[in-house]
Amino acid sequence: MTNDTQSPEMIDGFHLVIDALKLNGIDTIFGVPGIPITDLTRMAQAEGMRVISFRHEQHAGNAAAAAGFLTQKPGIALTVSAPGFLNGLTALTNATTNCFPMILISGSSEREIVDLQQGDYEEMDQLAIAKPLCKAAFRVLHAEDIGVGVARAIRAALSGRPGGVYLDLPAKLFAQTMEAGAGKASLIKVVDPAPRQIPAPDSVQRALDLLKGAKRPLILLGKGAAYAQADADIRALVETSGIPYLPMSMAKGLLPDTHGQSASAARSYVLAEADVVLLVGARLNWLLSHGKGKTWGGPNAATRQFIQIDIAPTEIDSNVAIAAPLIGDIGSCVSALVAGMGSNWAKPPADWTGAIYERRDKNLAKMAATLALSPSPMNFHSALNVIRNVVKARPDAIVVNEGANTLDFARSIVDMYEPRKRLDVGTWGIMGIGMGFSIAAAVVTGKPVIAIEGDSAFGFSGMEVETICRYNLPVCVIVFNNNGIYRGIDVNPTGGADVAPTVFVKNARYDKMMEAFGGVGAHATTPQELQSALDEAIRSGKPTLINAVIDETAGTESGRITSLNPTSAAKKK
């Protein structure tokens, strides 16, 4: 029975935002409630979305970024205006730098007041500030445009090179209402947000010709290859071609690090000696010494040629000339190469592969000898050896890693066996991703998470252990506690009362922080203690923090990037 005088059912801006996200398969929000988005978090939860509340927006943003990397759906971070927005912005920009898809949604003040700079509560022209720092930025002023705004944000985050998108939602928008039927009809379900991009056939042929002529070929896998979820194609490329490969840190596990063609333990040799290098979703940025200089030295520097697979055409030639660009999505490009190789593809010369594997095995034997030592106090090696064995037994666990020495050593010591199981400091080498990435990894995968944290790195996001406890997540944080930044042994040269800038409180008990919120704390001074605490954490799935006491004299300034310090750089000149 219809009743013409009955007022039509209405829908408000809050629910249009929630419905637009849900329509696009987005079921989780990472955020920090506050004016004007508190009710949005409540209503989203009431509508069945998972809402993970953080203690600081930067970590909610980092969680959204990691969720985006792991799922190929944009992670959603939600913040209040001005200061909350700015706190989230670091994560948004970092996600864009890493090519991870995420959307930062921030509430904002009314345009009328912001544009006249009349001094609203938390007034800021957020859209203008976000624009140069992310991939795309949009603002929605009218309820009927929410569907378009969310659709544009999703497509911008996922299409082409993935990245961070800012979506500005003024407070007034949430309370706007429209007729429910029209509201529903205004929402857009995004069709094929990251369409396959098939490489041009002549570019495939050019790459194959180059590879065919190579005497010392090398494949370099980057985190773009991990993101692409083209795992079987990548394995086929490596195994069909017979070419040794080197994974960048977040590409570790795309093939197990124990794979016979891994050149990881002969990294400097292959970079210096390779004559044709195939880059798969890896940029020739600082992490690869820009493709030139000493790292890429040796007799082939002048004649070396690069093939680069990337979805972003403008990435090509960014640092050195690329002889054979291959533009498209990794799955399409790699499968085209494999198809072109056919079944009789000649494997690379045995003198090249033999020399690599001989060096690698020698280095691995040396490493095994170091790992077998058990000094007291523990050093990075003896502690990481424990984690290395645990990850070997639980290859589905996700490893999050940040720090300086803790990062460098863990990257080379802890082997990975499955794709997208390693999340780390990424392209910027940023500190502070630890707890945000760990929370996202636990939330979106349900797998155990092992966060390998330098004591300094942990401090950037440490308060989020409360969040880990509140949601009862299977995260085991291991703090490599050597009493300071890089090391704990610097002294104040003036003899004054202040400690040196790099030194923390000695013998701090980070494990007590986890206990404060009901999680499990453990204090480990030996590999055996570390082992049993970590085993128990994985077995129980309880939030755990292990304070791993590391020799305070272990570690070097800035880990392996000492040369980037201005004083060392000046000395080198």
Binding of residue 455 to Mg ion (CB under 5 A)? yes
Residue in 227, 296, 380, 417 binding ligand ADP, rule: CB under 6 A:
227
Q: Is 224 in the site for ligand ADP (CB under 6 A)?
A: yes
Pick between residue 85 and residue 227 the one whose CB is nearest to ligand ADP: 227
Q: Cα(first)–Cα(last) distance of the chain, in Å?
A: 86
Partner from Mg ion, ligand ADP, none contacting 140, C-beta within 5 to 8 A by type: none
Which is nearer to ligand ADP, 106 or 335 (by Cβ)?
A: 335
Nearest one of 422, 419, 163, 211 to 311, comparing CA atoms: 163
Q: Report how many residues bind ligand ADP under the rule CB under 6 A.
A: 24
The encoded tokens of residue 246 equal 């080197």
Of 103 and 550, CB closest to ligand ADP: 103
- Of 19, 57, 273, 315, the residue at the interface with ligand ADP (CB under 6 A) is 315
DSSP 16-52: HHHHHHHHTT--EEEE---TTTHHHHHHHHHTT-EEE
Which of the ranges 103-111, 277-285, 438-446, 490-498 carries the binding residues for ligand ADP, by CB under 6 A? 277-285
Applying CB under 6 A, the span of 14-22, 82-90, 219-227, 412-420 interacting with ligand ADP comes to 219-227
The region of 210-218, 224-232, 382-390, 540-548 touching ligand ADP under the rule CB under 6 A is: 224-232
Site string for Mg ion, 464-483 (x = CB under 5 A): ------------------x-
Q: Which of 86, 148, 312, 367 binds ligand ADP (CB under 6 A)?
A: 312
Smallest gap from Cβ 489 to Mg ion, in A, equals 11
Strand-pair partners of 276:
217, 305
The listed partner (Mg ion, ligand ADP, none) that binds 99, CB under 5 to 8 Å by sort, is ligand ADP
Whether the CB-CB separation of 384 and 355 falls below 8 Å is answered with no
In whole angstroms, what is the distance from residue 108 CA to residue 569 CA? Answer: 44
Is there binding between residue 402 and ligand ADP (CB under 6 A)? no
Site for ligand ADP in 140-169 (CB under 6 A): 161-162
Q: Which stretch binds ligand ADP (CB under 6 A): 36-44, 180-188, 307-315, 552-560?
A: 307-315
Minimum CB–partner distance for residue 460 and Mg ion (Å):
12
Pick the binder of ligand ADP from 157, 214, 251, 473 (CB under 6 A): 251
Closest CB to ligand ADP belongs to which residue? Answer: 224
CA angle 438, 195, 160 (to 5 degrees): 60
DSSP state of 464: G
Query: What residue 281 binds from Mg ion, ligand ADP, none (CB within 5 to 8 A, per partner kind)?
Result: ligand ADP
Which residues make Cβ contacts (< 8 Å) with residue 573, sequence separation at least 6?
none
Amino acid at 321: A
Stretch that binds ligand ADP, among 85-93, 133-141, 217-225, 529-537 (CB under 6 A): 217-225
Q: Does 102 bind ligand ADP (CB under 6 A)?
A: no
3-state helix, strand, coil in the chain (%, to 5): 45, 15, 35
- Which one of ligand ADP, Mg ion, none interacts with residue 43, CB within 5 to 8 A by kind? none
Element at 302 (helix H, strand E): none
**Chosen from Mg ion, ligand ADP, none, partner binding at 222 (C-beta under 5 to 8 Å by type):** ligand ADP
Q: Would you give the binding string for ligand ADP spanning residues 103-132, x where CB under 6 A is met?
A: ------------------------------
Q: Which residues contact 368 (CB under 8 A, 6 or more apart)?
A: none
455 binds, among ligand ADP, Mg ion, none (CB under 5 to 8 A by kind): Mg ion
Residues 321-350 that bind ligand ADP (CB under 6 A): 329-330
Residue 19: contacted member of Mg ion, ligand ADP, none (CB under 5 to 8 Å, by partner type)? none
Using the minimum distance from each CB to Mg ion, give the nearer residue, 251 or 479. Answer: 479
Q: How far is the CB of 442 from Mg ion (least distance, A)?
A: 24
| Of the candidates 471, 422, 416, the residue with the CA atom closest to the CA atom of residue 446 | 471
Token digits of residue 314: 């403008």
Q: Quick one: which of 103, 248, 476, 537 contacts ligand ADP (CB under 6 A)?
A: 248
**Interatomic CA distance for residues 310 and 333, integer angstroms:** 9
Q: Which stretch binds ligand ADP (CB under 6 A): 145-153, 221-229, 296-304, 340-348?
A: 221-229
* Cα gap 121→116, rounded to integer Å: 14
Q: Please, what is the minimum distance in Å from the beta carbon of residue 6 to ligand ADP?
A: 50
Cα Dmax for the chain:
88
Dihedral sign for Cα 55, 59, 63, 68, please. positive
Rama region for 395: left / alpha / beta (φ>0; ψ in -120 to 50; rest): alpha
Sheet holding 449-454, edge to edge: 422-424, 398-402, 449-454, 475-481, 544-549, 520-524
The candidate with the shortest Cα–Cα distance to 83, out of 125, 26, 122, 34, is 122
424 binds ligand ADP (CB under 6 A): no
Provide the sign of the torsion angle of the four alpha carbons 470, 166, 17, 25, taken in this order. Answer: negative
Question: Which of the listed partners (Mg ion, ligand ADP, none) does 233 bind, with a CB threshold of 5 to 8 Å by partner kind?
Answer: none
Q: Which does 224 bind (CB under 5 to 8 A by kind): Mg ion, ligand ADP, none?
A: ligand ADP
> Of Mg ion, ligand ADP, none, which one does residue 227 interact with (CB within 5 to 8 Å by kind)?
ligand ADP
Angstrom distance (rounded) from CA 418 to CA 10: 48
Q: Which candidate, 119, 124, 47, places its Cα nearest to that of 87?
A: 124
- Token pair, residue 113, equals 């007041």
Listing DSSP states for 116-173 in one string gives: TT---TT---HHHHHGGGSSEEEE--SGGGHHHHHHHHHHHHHSSS--EEEEEEEHHH
Give me the helix-helix angle, 57-71 and 434-445, nearest 10°.
50
Q: Tell me how many helices (H) and strands (E) the chain has.
A: 23, 19
Instruction: Tell me phi and psi for residue 549, to 5 degrees.
Output: -80, 120
Residue closer to ligand ADP, measured from CB, 313 or 518:
313
Which of 180-188, 262-270, 308-316, 397-405 is the region at the interface with ligand ADP (rule: CB under 6 A)? 308-316
Contact set with Mg ion (CB under 5 A): 454-455, 482
Which parts of this chain interact with ligand ADP (CB under 6 A)? 98-99, 161-162, 222-224, 227-228, 248, 250-251, 281-283, 285, 287, 310-312, 315, 329-330, 427
